[in-house]
Amino acid sequence: MTGKLIALNIKALFARMFLRSRNQKKRNPAVTVLIILLAIYVFASMMFLFGTIFYQLNRLMFPMDLGWFYFSFMGIGIFAFCFVGSIFAAQAQLFSAKDNELLLSLPIKPQAILAGRLASLLLLDYLFAAVFALPAFVIWLVFQPVTAAGVLFFIIAVLTLPLASLALASFFAWLIALVTSRLHNKNALTLILSLVFMGLYFYVFSNLNSHINQLIMRGEEIAAAVRQSLFPIYHMGIAIEQGSFLSLLIYLICIIAPFVIMLLVLSANFIRIAAANRGAARIKYTEKALKVSNVRIAFVKKELRHFFGNPMYMLNSALGGVFMIVGAGALVVKRDVALSFIEQLNQTGIALSPAALVCAVLGMISALNLVSAPSVSLEGKNLWIAKSLPVLPIDVLMAKVQMHLLVCGIPAAVASIISAVALQANPLEFFLILAVPLLMTYLMALFGVVINLHFPKFDWINELQPIKQGVSVLLSMFGAFALVAALAVLYVFTLSSIVNIELYLTLCAALFAVLSGTLYGYLRSGGSRRFEALTN
Amino acid sequence: MLKIDHLTKTFGDKRAVDDLTLHIRPGEIYGFIGHNGAGKTTTIKAVTGILQFDSGEIFVDGKSVKSDPLGCKKVLAYIPDNPDMYEFLSGIKYLNFIADVFGVPANVRQERIHQYADLFELTDDLAQPVSAYSHGMKQKLALISALLHDPKLMIMDEPFVGLDPVASHKLKTIMREKCGRGGAIFFSTHVLEVAEKLCDKVAIIRNGKLVVSGTMDEVKGNSSLESVFLELEEKK
């Protein structure tokens, strides 16, 4: 039974990515191949990145007799990666699983349910651990003398370290579940936590080189700090480097103990945790005047409430807007760097103006704004509402376009104005810097809805499925990237000698306007008919 | 009020609704009965414009669903068998959204929301998100939203499922009152006792085809609706 539960939980964990539509007889092979290639690319890139770091550490630490720190660094990486990677999964699996009550009503021991959930989380952790452990192992194997005991202890260490990480992730997941269950606005907390994790991620990765340099320059100092403050990780390094059984034993006791404690606490309280329905405090309605809107505005407001009601929708579909504002801010601060970069490009023969650079960058970032691309799919089981109400399909569809424009157009306009002011653009450049990204945003908004009408997915279990893995989202993103890249390449390699950049940008704006007009025309006719024919 | 004329709808090779003809007049409560998968929901979805159909015609208040779908939708209200609603909205925001779409004036919507929310004992919960509602509460919210624009025709798919006995009784009273004022109600149900007591007319459908229809007395005669239904089912 435990085995079946583990398989079920693993399936649930990966369902978002590999779920098959109820209506599809066969999974679309192109989508499967695309997902597999993307997974291989991400996995290989990260392994390469960490491989480079371990190569540098290997060259530095082993000659300094600090070989143990090489493994301790790997241990810290695995622990942190597993913790961050599994904290939300742990919350969903352990404390917010919708099937807890169903499983408890079946003749299954609560411990078996818990074991199933923990085992699937552990498997997820092992995937994260592999990203660190594999390059560390290969570099060590190739460049250093290796003993059988060392290899054995390395494997034991990598297999046991995620246990401690899982214990800590479970504790934090419990805290999050406890806090969010009592909050009225869970979305705000989830959004803040996600942004904090994302900010940390970007901070660490954007400063990775300086961190590595620090590590190299202050290797001994940092190693001494690790020896004193991260006692178990230090012994893990010693156990692998020197094949010390005693150190392995000390490490194992320190690592396994929190896991066992977590296991005992969860086992003793699982029924209470699983059946708990804390719920936020009830908000009592007090009658007040209701705002009246016309049909189109009512639908736009509905779309906006949907968007702002789901932190994952915001984070996954409108990150481009944040990047635009941050980028414009950076341009204000690093104006000279941007201008000298343009100067350097001009010297190499690539005719680029500040306006062209801003338009190209904002255009590229627009490809990350995918608010409208899953919006038809997100109707899901509620599709009957829009279809049974006395409203024209074009009004329903344009509400989605307008939501995209409001969410992504405002940051694009703000970023454009900041950039134009920072670069002291002349009136024509100012106009182009404003018009090109805004028209691109409008085009993206329309394209997202059109493409989603052709690739809708209504049978999702979680809204993240259409938001993150929908075909329409992938096609919108790569379509926009391809369009901007093609226009840039066309100018740089072909048209730069024939037309000046201002004229070219004007032509780009005209192209976006024509494409947008065509897509709008389609939404009024064929798109509306397609919406009328949609069923979930 | 509702005229279904030789309606046919197929899904692949399966004829879900096969040449169905029904006529619901103003003032009638019309029950629609059939086994699971008989074609009741498909018919209802075709009437409400959710599902396109292959052949036949549907007229609501004299307007064709095919040529004037908006005109038809303006005078009808639909309550689905499973009240899935926008879970990201609160109950009051959902009702206000529906009122906006039907263009219900501010004072009228305020009054009707107050009236029906009080009637179904949902007023205190209107500020809660729909996601926090139980099935019965969602059903009540769907009912209130359906009544907001005072529709001429109400189309309901299993409207009593999930409702407590008090709410069921109130719904039956509303249905009767609406028909008393010249409206019409077309609803599907598996609760034959309710259909027998409430409906003026009834239609029984089997495998997409109309088996029998007429006034309650014409259909059941001296026996019960349940025995008539079971008898017809045994003839399969």
Cα torsion for A92, A94, A100, A105, to the nearest 10°?
A: 170
How many whole angstroms separate alpha carbon A497 and alpha carbon A499?
Answer: 6
Contacts made by residues A259-268, CB under 8 angstroms, sequence distance 24+:
A259/A163, A259/A164, A259/A166, A259/A167, A261/A167, A262/A166, A262/A167, A262/A170, A262/A171, A263/A118, A266/A94, A266/A114, A266/A118, A266/A170, A267/A110, A267/A111, A267/A114
B218 contacts B195 by C-beta, under 8 angstroms = no
How many whole angstroms separate alpha carbon A496 and alpha carbon A478?
Answer: 25
CB within 8 Å: A389 and B73: yes
**Secondary structure element (H or E) that encloses residue B210, with its range:** strand B209-215
pLDDT 10s digits, A161-181: 999 999 988 888 887 777 766
Contacts made by residues A245-252, CB under 8 angstroms, sequence distance 24+:
A245/A149, A248/A153, A248/A156, A248/A157, A251/A157, A251/A160, A252/A156, A252/A160
Question: Would the pLDDT of A60 be above 60?
Answer: yes
* pLDDT band with cut points at 50, 70 and 90 for residue A24: very low
3-state helix, strand, coil in chain A (%, to 5): 80, 0, 20
* β-sheet with B2-11: strand ranges across: B14-24, B2-11, B55-60, B63-64
Cα torsion for B178, B180, B186, B188, to the nearest 10°?
A: 90
pLDDT 10s digits, B23-34: 999 999 999 999
pLDDT 10s digits, B201-228: 999 999 999 999 999 988 888 888 888 8
* pLDDT band with cut points at 50, 70 and 90 for residue A71: very high
How many whole angstroms separate alpha carbon A464 and alpha carbon B215?
Answer: 50
Kindly tell me the number of DSSP H helices and DSSP E strands found in chain A: 24, 0
Question: Would the pLDDT of A282 be above 80?
Answer: no
Structure tokens at B142: 């769907």
pTM above 0.95, yes or no: no
pLDDT 10s digits, B153-198: 999 999 998 899 999 999 999 999 999 999 999 999 988 888 999 9
Structure tokens at A3: 């085995």
Say how many Å lie between the first and final Cα of chain A, rounded.
34
- For residue A298, which residues of chain B lie inside 8 Å, CB to CB? 97, 100-101
3-state helix, strand, coil in chain B (%, to 5): 40, 25, 30
Structure tokens at A33: 């191949």
Task: Give how far A306 is from chain B: nearest CA, Å.
Answer: 6
CB within 8 Å: B73 and A284: no
Task: Give how far B54 is from chain A: nearest CA, Å.
Answer: 12
> Which is it for strands B209-215 and B201-206: parallel, antiparallel or unpaired?
antiparallel
List of domains in chain B: 2-234 (3.40.50.300)
A170 contacts A125 by C-beta, under 8 angstroms = no
How many whole angstroms separate alpha carbon A372 and alpha carbon A404?
Answer: 6
- For residue B124, which residues of chain A lie inside 8 Å, CB to CB? 282, 284-285
Question: Would the pLDDT of A319 be above 50?
Answer: yes
Of B50, B106, B114, the CB nearest to A384: B50
Of B74, B88, B109, the CB nearest to A390: B74
* β-sheet with B29-34: strand ranges across: B76-79, B153-157, B184-188, B29-34, B201-206, B209-215
Closest-CA residue of chain A to B73: A390
Largest Cα–Cα separation, chain A:
78
Per-residue DSSP letter, A491: I
Q: How many Cβ atoms are within 10 Å of A377's Cβ, its own excluded? A: 25
Question: Would the pLDDT of B73 be above 90?
Answer: yes
- For residue B97, which residues of chain A lie inside 8 Å, CB to CB? 298, 301-302
- Could you give the ipTM of this predicted complex? 0.93
Stated length of chain B? 236
Sign of the CA dihedral running B59, B64, B68, B69: positive
Task: Kindly give the residue spans of alpha helices, DSSP state H, lying in A410-500.
Answer: 410-422, 427-454, 464-469, 471-490
Task: Give how far B212 is from chain A: nearest CA, Å.
Answer: 28
Q: Which residue has the higher pLDDT, A195 or A82?
A: A82
Q: What is the pLDDT of residue A489?
A: 87
How many whole angstroms separate alpha carbon A319 and alpha carbon B185?
Answer: 49
pLDDT 10s digits, A413-468: 999 999 999 988 889 989 999 999 999 999 999 999 999 999 998 888 778 788 87
> Which is it for strands B14-24 and B55-60: parallel, antiparallel or unpaired?
unpaired
Sign of the CA dihedral running A506, A510, A516, A519: negative
- For residue B78, which residues of chain A lie inside 8 Å, CB to CB? 384, 388
Top-ranked range on mean pLDDT: pick from A56-65, A117-126, B113-122: B113-122
Closest-CA residue of chain B to A535: B51
Question: Would the pLDDT of B132 be above 50?
Answer: yes
CB within 8 Å: A285 and B125: yes
B37 contacts B114 by C-beta, under 8 angstroms = no
Q: What is the pLDDT of residue A23?
A: 43
- For residue B106, which residues of chain A lie inside 8 Å, CB to CB? 289-290, 292
Task: Give how far B8 is from chain A: nearest CA, Å.
Answer: 16
Q: Residue A144 corresponds to which amino acid?
A: Q
CB within 8 Å: A290 and B113: yes
Say how many Å lie between the first and final Cα of chain B, rounded.
32
B2 contacts B47 by C-beta, under 8 angstroms = yes
